[in-house]
Amino acid sequence: MRRGGVAGLALLLSLSACGGGSGGGAISTPTPPIVTPTPTPTPTPTPTPTPSTFDTAEYRRSNGAVAAQALAAYQAGASGRGIIAAVIDSGVNPDLPEFSGRISPLSRDVAGSRALADESGHGSEVSGILLAARNNSGIHGVAPAATLLALRADRPGSCAGTEGCGYGSSAIANGLDVATSAGARVANISLGGFAAPFSLQAALVRAGNAGIVTVVAAGNDSAVESDPLARSLVAAAVPNTVIVAGAVDDAGVIADFSNRAGSIAGNYLVALGVRVRSFDATGAAFLYSGTSEAAPIISGAVALMAEAFPTLSGPQIVDILFRTATDLGAPGTDAIYGRGQLNISRAFAPIGSLSVAGVAEPLSGTGLIGGPLGDAGATGLALRQVAARDSYGRGYAVDVAASLRRQSAGRLALALFGSAQAAGLRLGGGELAVLARAGDGLAWRGDRLTGADTSLRPQAALTAGAARLPLAPGRSLAFGYGQSLGALLGGASDTPVTLVAARADDSLALAQPLAGGALVQQMGDWRLGIGYGTLRQQAALRGGVAPLAQRALLRLDRRLGGVQLGLGGEMLVEQGSLLGSQLAPAFGVTGATTLSALAHVGLPLGRWNLAADARLGQARPDLTGSGLIRAGATLTTFAGSLQLWGQGLLRADDRLSLTLAQPLRASGRALLALGDAPLATALAPSGREIAMEAGYALPVAGGALGLTSFWRHQPGHIATAPPDAGAAVQFRLGF
């Protein structure tokens, strides 16, 4: 550190470069070492990483920027371009190529009328750390495209002595005023000395009111308190407009020479200040140590923030840098490291909850998507670039689709563990049945092939039951638990039950029926059935409760000779889900109502039977009106299946079945709040599942043996999903 003497003027403050000592105009404190660099080439890692556009050899040599984790800012497009950074110091060599074309014409001598130059080299070195050009030569600064407002403040003639340059308080004040009038966003003062007089304090306040952030060195006296100049500037400043820079080494340990945070810990931030790469006024490379070198690293961070987030005020930038600093030393703000070490990467990341304009809920939480919506296809693509703002109003492009977890497209494990055995009896004209599921309470850990979650494993042995009571001739009432409405209505069809290929009469393939009831009335050749039941989604967000749904079904069946015809209407009302998909609150979907028409045709073909089922519906989500999905979201749903089965083929009591099915798939459009105006976006899966299943069953040894094989194209309606094929063997033994 170099210190000049105090001139005879009462308001003349003697300041020194490299962060100053502890007062006394005639006292000299040793300058921290300046060492000519002889760096050892960095070993090439194995395997060699592919550098990004900004992760270059020049960047890796720029240890000030590297230690501050500036790469994230560069990758976000920030470089300091268009931002004026004032350096109040010994001036700069305007002929250095590192500053070519980026020295503001307002740069000047604020201590006299000299030409812009740098007698000591201190100003050039500090400016290089802050904003040296990215030109594939030497190093680049933290803000390599910022504009330099070089304000030469050294007292004329003071740099010629052995004590180093001296700086007057009036020159520093003039420099701050020039920075204010020039529209600078940051002012770097890598100087130290006596406490600031009123004139300098007033200039600092004017700068703060204009939005300038002032960064001042903490000093190099190994003291428990920062330099008197730094402390006085903090005391006088507009709140959150002054940062005091302390120095740490490349391990994040406070430098032995650096003054500590002390009583101004709330305004103290550390950055690399040991062996920092830069250059002198001639352009020769050196390694520098001192809090003077830590200050421009922080000033560069301010410039990057000001460019990337132009709506931020100076106090907001300071607050973000303090909040995102890497905590060092004692937890929280402490008397050594203050707020911690500068971390530009964290400063550029969102803080607090992300929100979208007009969307009441923040972009937080996860969703579970699948079933008829598949992977959401084009909607998922649209959600990858959602314009959102953090708690400071900073804009980000957020990949909301990444928060949507896909439901497992596998069905085999659920089908096997959901199969049931029934026992029943008749009481007069009534029937009673109790069913036992395959789940036995063992610690099943999930199916690796299908991805079925352990939470889907049946938890109890007795999970279903039904009772049917006659009310009058041709009229009966059925009610049960764990039974589908189709089973409670009964009599509509004897089509085989499939294991994997979802038939069109399944409302939601991944929904588990709970309680329900059905009333059946026979009217000559016609049969009318009315049913109502509750369903529970089998998939739930981790730690959450599976949503419920209510299903009402009206079905009319008739036999014309051997031909069986059926028509039906269904209403499905979901709470907390949309066709089985559960979305985060920000989507604004609280449930959905789906109206569907169903049709069935069954034809006898000798020993064979052919059945066709179709379902066509319209789903309308229940919307809050203030979510990502806005009005206009209507989905068309369709499912279809074709089954062929025959009995007595190889032996009198066997059965062979073939099924071709497209499970329920939804498609439509929705208005998504993805920017200033809602965007009409396709709401549909990327693919279309087609499933084929073959089954063979026959009685064996008092039980039943079932063989099933299946093949699924684009399972889960996901275009990129590989085909899903498998087989199952089931054996049921009665006793």
For the stretch 357-386, what's the b/e string if a residue is b when 16 or more beta carbons lie within 10 angstroms of its beta carbon? Answer: eebebbbeeebbbbbbbbbbbebbebbeeb
Site of tokens 């060195």 = 217
C-alpha 645/C-alpha 52 separation (Å) is 60
CA–CA distance, 664 with 517 (Å, rounded to integer): 24
Beta bridge partners of 732: 704
Number of other residues whose CB lies within 10 A of the CB of residue 477? 15
Residue 144: both structure tokens together: 């390599």
| Residue 362 identity | P
Kindly state the helix (H) or strand (E) to which residue 380 belongs, with its residue range.
helix 377-382
Identity of the amino acid at 79: S
H/E run at residue 64: helix 63-67
Establish whether the linkage from the previous residue to 47 is cis, with ω within 30° of 0.
Answer: yes
Q: Describe the chain by its helix, strand, coil percentages, rounded to 5.
A: 20, 35, 45
SS3 140: coil
Q: Which residue has the tokens 């680049």?
A: 140
Contact status, residue 559 vs residue 590, Cβ threshold 8 Å: no
Compute CA 361 distance to the chain's CA centroid, rounded to the nearest angstrom. Answer: 15
Cα 190 to Cα 299: distance, rounded to the nearest angstrom: 10
Residues in the chain: 735
Structure tokens at 541: 């967000």
Backbone conformation region of residue 625, classed left if phi is above 0, alpha if psi is from -120 to 50, else beta: left
Residue 642: CB atoms within 10 A of its CB come to: 16
Distance CA 658, CA 680 (A): 41
Question: Which residues form the catalytic set?
Answer: 89, 122, 292
Cβ contacts of 186 within 8 Å, gap of 6 or more: 83, 85, 86, 212, 213, 214, 215, 299, 302, 303, 306
Do residues 292 and 21 make contact, with C-beta atoms less than 8 angstroms apart? no
**Rounded Cα–Cα distance for residues 721 and 411 (Å):** 14
Start-to-end Cα distance in the chain: 96
Structure tokens at 669: 């459009």
Q: Is the dihedral of CA 402, 403, 409, 413 positive or negative?
A: positive
